[in-house]
């Protein structure tokens, strides 16, 4: 708050926590009072919070976990075919966003993306055949998060898709390459132009980028993201700067790489230049790498995943390992494209909340005032929400910094006990998919993670700590 107060040349302020009579009395004396949003903890969590609070190992476990999260140095090393690199991926597997899901529970955009993937793979010849096949149970649906991957929106990864391979020493994570906005598979569209674009990505984009990466060597995604936050990105729904910097990194190789035809390299340059979200998927793979590095620390209440499958919202904690804690996916408060309205919107969907999980996206919106043109709200509100996220996080990111807050690190590492205790829910900014299969993107907006996930997670963590 120093910067903001300094801006107005105001004296120090008094912060009151909940006790309105005190605030009113101070104001009557001419004191500048800042009311915080303090409330009692979420009902039914007092016992679990007491267990965690009295556990002498939790603070250390959280410090260990969040240090692992912020210490990861993700590099894009190559682009490869999903079935050849992703562990546990067979020719009959489709990965999807969010916690585990059956076809019968899948929302419209998830169904549309699964149908599109089966068309793209040539496993089904028509949308109807694809839907029948998916409903038959002969296709294995498995969360991206179970395969060291993260997928935006529907997040469907099929065996032939090219994926970015992101590494930090021995650890690896994966994400598909971004298709652009509008009628794209990840928003549930599956028309011929969607399938055609996916084929072009497989046959042109992937080999050209892979070849260029052999010239550039590993691309430091953390450095690009840190710079991009200085340039108005949040790393989730605004990636114009990150995409620009990535293209600068790749550009000279694209100019000079005689291993691929110049016309295809120019096509690839134009495709990435035409898609300011290109960097998102790389940030997500980097985020997955950081979150996985932080997982499995006994006693830690650090959130290591927030992910939505379009039906349910799920989270994981470091101290409870691979277990998901889910609640119905919320609806998004957003801006709609063209003639679409909230009536057309699917509930919240996608693994992209991995960005918020690692201190970007909704947590970094104070770095990204221009994002409000895409997701709604005001620049002042974006700053206010970032300030609020410091209340529920364990640290400030050492390299992701917010220039307007005098280079303060982004609020990083959600502590589930702080969410339950303060009742401040993590803010996510996100795209909005049409609820019917085949429609695609209808808007973008803001959403808060459901409290029920955090309540269940904190209770489970407490259960694991009782002796």
C-alpha span between 142 and 156 (Å, rounded): 10
Report which of 212, 217, 159, 151 is spatially closest to residue 178, judged by C-alpha positions: 151
Cα four-point dihedral sign 240, 241, 242, 248: positive
C-alpha span between 242 and 234 (Å, rounded): 9
The smaller minimum CB distance to its own copies, of residues 142 and 243, is found at: 243
Q: Which pair of structure tokens corresponds to residue 25?
A: 């009395």
Which of 19, 22, 125, 370 is close enough to bind its own copies by CB under 8 A? Answer: 370
Radius of gyration of the chain (CA): 22
- 17 binding its own copies? (CB under 8 A): no
Phi, psi angles (nearest 5°) of residue 126: -145, 160
Q: Smallest gap, in angstroms, from Cβ of residue 422 to its own copies? A: 18
Binding letters toward its own copies, positions 31-70, x by CB under 8 A: xx-xx-----------------------------------
The smaller minimum CB distance to its own copies, of residues 32 and 84, is found at: 32
The smaller minimum CB distance to its own copies, of residues 287 and 377, is found at: 377
Half-sphere exposure of 452 (CA within 13 A, CB side): 8
Which of 269, 330, 391, 399 is close enough to bind its own copies by CB under 8 A? Answer: 269
Q: Smallest gap, in angstroms, from Cβ of residue 56 to its own copies? A: 39
- H/E segment holding residue 335: strand 333-336
Which of 110, 175, 221, 254 is close enough to bind its own copies by CB under 8 A? Answer: 254
- H/E segment holding residue 225: helix 221-229
C-alpha span between 284 and 305 (Å, rounded): 11
- 139 binding its own copies? (CB under 8 A): no
Which of 25, 92, 255, 322 is close enough to bind its own copies by CB under 8 A? Answer: 255
* Region from 129-137, 148-156, 281-289, 398-406 binding its own copies, contact rule CB under 8 A: 398-406
Q: How many C-beta atoms lie closer than 10 Å to residue 389's C-beta?
A: 22
Q: How far is CA 409 from CA 90, 367, 368, 394, 406, in A?
A: 41, 10, 14, 12, 9
Identify residues 232-251 at the interface with its own copies (CB under 8 A).
232, 240-241, 244-245, 247-248, 251
Q: Smallest gap, in angstroms, from Cβ of residue 223 to its own copies? A: 13
- 140 binding its own copies? (CB under 8 A): no
DSSP state string for 148-177: TB--STT--B-TTSEEEEEEETTEEEEEEP
* Region from 28-36, 282-290, 331-339, 388-396 binding its own copies, contact rule CB under 8 A: 28-36
The answer to whether residues 426 and 306 touch, using CB atoms and an 8 Å cutoff, is yes
Which of 18, 146, 380, 463 is close enough to bind its own copies by CB under 8 A? Answer: 380
Identify residues 215-234 at the interface with its own copies (CB under 8 A).
227, 230-232
Total of residues contacting its own copies (CB under 8 A): 53
For its own copies, the binding residues (CB under 8 A) are 3-10, 27-32, 34-35, 227, 230-232, 240-241, 244-245, 247-248, 251-252, 254-256, 258, 262-263, 265-266, 269-270, 273, 369-370, 372-373, 378-380, 383-384, 403-407
């Amino acid at each position: 708050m120093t910067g903001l107060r300094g801006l107005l040349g105001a004296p120090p302020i008094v912060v009151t926590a909940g006790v309105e009579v005190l605030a009113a009395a101070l104001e009557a004396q001419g004191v500048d009072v800042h009311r915080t949003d303090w409330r009692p903890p979420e009902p039914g969590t007092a016992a679990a919070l007491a267990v965690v609070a009295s556990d002498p190992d939790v603070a250390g476990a959280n410090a260990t976990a969040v240090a692992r999260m912020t210490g990861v140095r993700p590099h894009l090393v190559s682009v490869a075919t999903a079935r050849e690199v992703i562990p546990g991926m067979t020719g009959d597997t489709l990965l999807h966003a969010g916690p585990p899901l059956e076809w019968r529970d899948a929302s419209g955009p998830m169904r549309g993306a699964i149908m599109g993937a089966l068309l793209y793979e040539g496993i089904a010849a028509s949308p109807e055949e694809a839907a029948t096949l998916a409903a038959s149970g002969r296709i294995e649906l498995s969360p991206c998060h179970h395969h060291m991957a993260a997928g935006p929106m529907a997040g469907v990864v099929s065996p032939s898709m090219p994926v970015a391979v992101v590494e930090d020493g021995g650890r690896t994570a994966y994400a598909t390459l971004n298709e652009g906005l509008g009628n794209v598979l990840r928003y549930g569209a599956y028309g011929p132009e969607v399938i055609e674009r996916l084929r072009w990505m497989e046959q042109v984009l992937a080999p050209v980028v892979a070849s260029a990466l052999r010239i550039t060597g590993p691309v430091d995604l953390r450095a690009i993201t840190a710079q991009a936050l200085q340039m108005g990105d949040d790393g989730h729904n605004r990636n114009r700067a990150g995409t620009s910097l990535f293209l600068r990194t790749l550009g000279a190789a694209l100019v000079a790489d005689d291993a691929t035809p110049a016309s295809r390299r120019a096509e690839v340059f134009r495709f990435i230049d035409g898609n300011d979200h290109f960097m998102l998927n790389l940030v997500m793979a980097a985020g997955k790498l950081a979150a996985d590095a932080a997982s499995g620390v006994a006693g830690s209440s650090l959130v290591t995943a927030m992910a939505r499958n379009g039906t349910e919202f799920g989270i994981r904690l470091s101290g409870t390992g691979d277990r998901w804690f889910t609640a119905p996916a919320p609806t998004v408060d957003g801006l709609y494209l063209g003639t679409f309205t909230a009536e057309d919107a699917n509930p919240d969907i996608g693994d992209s909340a991995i960005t918020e999980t690692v201190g970007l996206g909704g947590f970094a919106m104070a770095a990204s005032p221009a994002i409000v043109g895409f997701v709604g709200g005001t620049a002042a509100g974006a700053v206010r929400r970032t300030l609020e996220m410091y209340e529920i996080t364990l640290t400030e990111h050492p390299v992701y910094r917010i220039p307007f807050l005098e280079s303060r690190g982004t609020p990083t590492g959600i502590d589930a006990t702080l969410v339950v205790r303060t009742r401040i829910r993590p803010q996510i900014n996100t795209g909005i998919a049409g609820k019917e299969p085949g429609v695609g993107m209808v808007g973008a907006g803001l959403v808060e993670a459901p409290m029920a996930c955090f309540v269940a997670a904190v209770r489970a963590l407490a259960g694991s700590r009782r002796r």
